[in-house]
Amino acid sequence: MTRSLGSPLPVSCLVRTMGWLGLTLIGGSLHPFVGTALAQGLAAPVPRPAVGTDVPRSGPGASPTDVGRGLTPEEHTNIAVYDAVNRSVVNINTKATVSAGFFLVEVPSEGAGSGIVVDKLGHVLTNYHVVEGAKEIQVMLYDGSSHAATIVGHDPATDVAVIRVAAPVEVLEPVHFGSSSDLRVGQRVFAIGNPFGLERTLTTGIISSLNRSLPARNGRTIKAIIQTDAAINPGNSGGPLLDSSSRLIGMNTAIASRTGQSSGVGFAIPVGTLARIVPQLIERGKVTRADAGIARVYQTDHGLLVASLVPDGPAERAGMRGFKVVRERRRQGPFMAETERVDRSGADLIVAVAGVAVKNADDFLSQVETRNSGDEVLITVEREGHRLDLPVVLAAER
């Protein structure tokens, strides 16, 4: 069974329907980057002609045919961004097997998406849903050469993955990383990807909104998502979202559409999120998040009611209280019967973390997981009518 490039993956592959909009993954994608090599890439300036000067159509030098064309400043910017980054974008094709039919016979399945070269070591950034379950991954570079790749690490909670391609160093052109902390609504952005299998296609638009949220398949929420009206279609997943200085500010991951094609509402994972998790994926193959040692909570209108704690975990050591199991012995005729009941009256109600109010588990995890193991954080609880600040030293997630 072949998955058509023109048909986006079903919503159930990664995300739930968001309101009346069909939120659809847009193909396959890759991501993460490496320590020293990455840091050097981040620090290196992007060679880019000033707006208003003639810009090379491709390659290192300006083409004589560009001189005197009378291009507008906007066109010069478009060309400069494409020339600076298009060689950093790859086409990813995957092969997998899926169970189909009454007898659940395994049949071949194919997928495609985009990826971003992040260093000379061959690490490529993409979406996890692009390479999930892949038995074979082929990466095609700007020069048309195709190379096998393997998955280095992945993080389903953020839909990020890193693969490594076995390609010569001279054909690997790393992207330059920017910042997503100072983005503005209305700012011009550029998307490069492989929509419908058409290699390294450029589309332009603006940032339509910031700090959107997307539901992930594991019930968590991906925060700080960038919304853009740049045309994004099936096959764009894992491709870069760029600013006018040709720097990476996000990775395209999904569209809101009833038809599965661009409706002017696209979403990208911000580079700030990528920067936090990619080094871990390259080093350990997974993301190790900080943990407060709270096993179970109940959401209420006023906060999170602590049900149970990890034995000898950070929260328990800090003095936090959960439900208590009370054992009682009662005489029933000539026999003594032992019963158990749950006492919720002494459980703590979590209302804030580091001074930030929390209303649900996602709010709580967002505050905790942005920190590192060993960090101390104040968790504010209500207990018997009083507010307490409990200093909790976070541990590594088990």
Which sequence positions are flagged as catalytic?
129, 159, 237
Q: Are 396 and 373 in contact (CB under 8 A)?
A: yes
Nearest by Cα to 363 from 299, 271, 315, 288: 299
Residue 334 backbone dihedrals phi, psi, to 5 degrees: -80, 0
Nearest by Cα to 398 from 256, 292, 268: 292
Neighbours of 134 (CB within 10 A): 23
61-65, Cβ contacts within 8 angstroms, sequence gap of 24 or more: none
User: Which residues contact residue 226 at a Cβ distance below 8 angstroms, ignoring those fewer than 6 apart?
Assistant: 180, 183, 207, 209, 210, 212, 241, 249, 250, 267, 268, 269, 270
Residues paired with residue 267 on neighbouring β-strands, in sequence order: 227, 254
CA–CA gap between residue 38 and residue 275 (Å, rounded): 10
Alpha carbon separation from 381 to 167, 303, 318, 348, 357 (Å, rounded): 54, 9, 12, 6, 11
